[in-house]
């Protein structure tokens, strides 16, 4: 009883000192009171309140004197852990009058801890950045600030990816999804992670979840990723119908039209791609959008010419008809191929004029020139050669 009474008096002293803004005294008494009371929720709650006020006092001093150096730079982390320990030990704990409860305390810790995480990440201190981001995410979740929790989990996911910890990268992305996060980036990232793992089932599931959680006006990236999914799973009919829907929905957005065209070109839907590109060019105003649409048009013709090459090879390898008959078919294909390559060349040259440093276009342009037996300018050849070193 004597021990309990002394402990209770210590908390009363801490409480009184905090109420009177005697924060230094409160901390000394609090640190002493914690000894032997590591399983007491009320002690942890008071410690959280104490160190939160230590942190807040330091911030006020720094505002007045930027040269001020805190003697307890980790006060907010100590407060954070204390509030968490309190609610872990007693989910129904009630604070003393004028003090913060554990959820309120964690909510007030969230922003400062998140800021510490950002600073650690910028300084290259990945280990502490990950630690602080996880603490901040836990605080935001406790305060039911799901958007902020989602942003924090996404930030720490990128750090895990940077360190090569793909298991935690995936875990953090899934934590964001659980919060019904509205940003399409997390779903796209998770989709391509599953794609790399050849997990087509979860690829489909994450896109369905994205459609539920991402607002209609922000779904362009999700819809574009759907095109990749339909191509991957050989659902060409769905690919085409979704492209039609998107081309109508985003007819005034040149960048989206270029994205649609890219998927169509990659899946040999050349005529449909050309129609989409022309619609995009009709509304494109930025030079980079025009260059990208021109590149897609050049690709549309180039890959049709490549497909022609493959048909020539298949005919010569086949045993249908005589050699002369096969040769005639091949020659007919070659005759048809030349104007296709010439169109590819014209569009690729347009891209080169707009952006002479586009690697993909430069490599394609050199190949087209070689196929047409046109001279390759030294400047272009030098650029392409530089990519190999």
pLDDT per residue as tens digits for the range 193-211: 999 999 999 999 999 999 9
Residue 101 has pLDDT above 80, yes or no: yes
Expressed in percent and rounded to 5, the helix, strand and coil fractions of the chain are 80, 0, 20
Q: What is the dihedral of CA 213, 215, 218, 219, to 10 degrees?
A: 60
pLDDT at 321 over 90: no
**pTM (2 decimals)?**
0.80
Mean pLDDT, residues 81-109: 95
> Is pLDDT at 324 greater than 90 in this prediction?
no
Q: What is the pLDDT of residues 177-190, one digit of tens each?
A: 999 999 999 999 99
Using an 8 Å Cβ cutoff, are 227 and 243 in contact? yes
Dist. CA 364–CA 367, nearest whole Å = 5
Q: What is the pLDDT of residues 263-282, one digit of tens each?
A: 999 999 999 999 999 999 99
Q: Report the pLDDT averaged over residues 238-265.
A: 95
pLDDT for the residue 326:
86
pLDDT on residue 7? 58
Mean pLDDT of the chain: 94
CB-side neighbour CA atoms (13 Å) of 360: 10
Q: Which of 167, 235, 171 is nearest to 200 (CA)?
A: 235
3-state secondary structure of 87: helix
Closest to 306 in 3D by CA, of 236, 217, 231, 371: 371
């Amino acid at each position: 009883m004597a021990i309990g009474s002394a402990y209770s008096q210590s908390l009363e002293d801490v409480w009184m000192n905090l109420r009177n803004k005697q924060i230094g005294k409160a901390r000394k008494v609090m640190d002493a009171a914690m000894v032997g009371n590591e399983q007491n929720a009320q002690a942890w709650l008071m410690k959280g309140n104490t160190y939160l006020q230590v942190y807040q006092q330091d911030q006020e001093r720094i505002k007045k004197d930027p040269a001020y150096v805190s003697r307890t730079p980790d006060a907010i982390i100590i407060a954070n852990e204390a509030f968490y320990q309190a609610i872990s030990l007693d989910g129904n704990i009630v604070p003393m009058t004028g003090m913060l409860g554990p959820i309120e305390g964690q909510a007030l810790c969230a922003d400062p801890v998140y800021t510490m995480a950002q600073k650690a990440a910028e300084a290259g201190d990945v280990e502490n950045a990950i630690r602080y981001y996880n603490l901040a995410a836990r605080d935001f979740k406790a305060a039911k600030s799901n958007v902020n929790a989602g942003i924090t989990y996404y930030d720490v996911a990128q750090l895990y990816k940077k360190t090569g910890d793909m298991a935690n990268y995936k875990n953090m992305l899934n934590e964001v999804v659980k919060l019904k996060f509205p940003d399409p980036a997390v779903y796209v990232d998770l989709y391509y992670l599953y794609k790399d793992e050849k997990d087509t089932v979860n690829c489909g599931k994450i896109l369905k979840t994205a459609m539920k959680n991402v607002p209609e006006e922000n779904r362009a990236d999700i819809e574009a990723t759907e095109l990749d999914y339909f191509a991957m799973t050989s659902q060409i009919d769905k690919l085409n119908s979704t492209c039609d829907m998107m081309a109508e929905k985003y007819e005034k957005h040149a960048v989206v039209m270029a994205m649609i065209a890219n998927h169509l070109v990659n899946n040999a839907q050349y005529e449909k791609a050309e129609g989409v590109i022309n619609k995009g060019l009709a509304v494109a105003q930025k030079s980079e959008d025009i260059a990208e649409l021109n590149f897609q048009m050049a690709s549309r013709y180039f890959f049709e010419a490549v497909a022609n090459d493959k048909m020539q090879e298949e005919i010569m390898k086949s045993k249908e008809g005589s050699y002369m008959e096969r040769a005639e078919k091949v020659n007919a294909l070659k005759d048809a191929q030349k104007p296709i390559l010439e169109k590819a060349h014209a569009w690729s040259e347009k891209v080169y004029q707009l952006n002479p440093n586009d690697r993909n276009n430069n490599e394609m342009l050199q190949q087209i020139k070689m196929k047409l037996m046109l001279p390759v300018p030294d400047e272009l050849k030098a650029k392409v050669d530089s990519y190999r070193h």
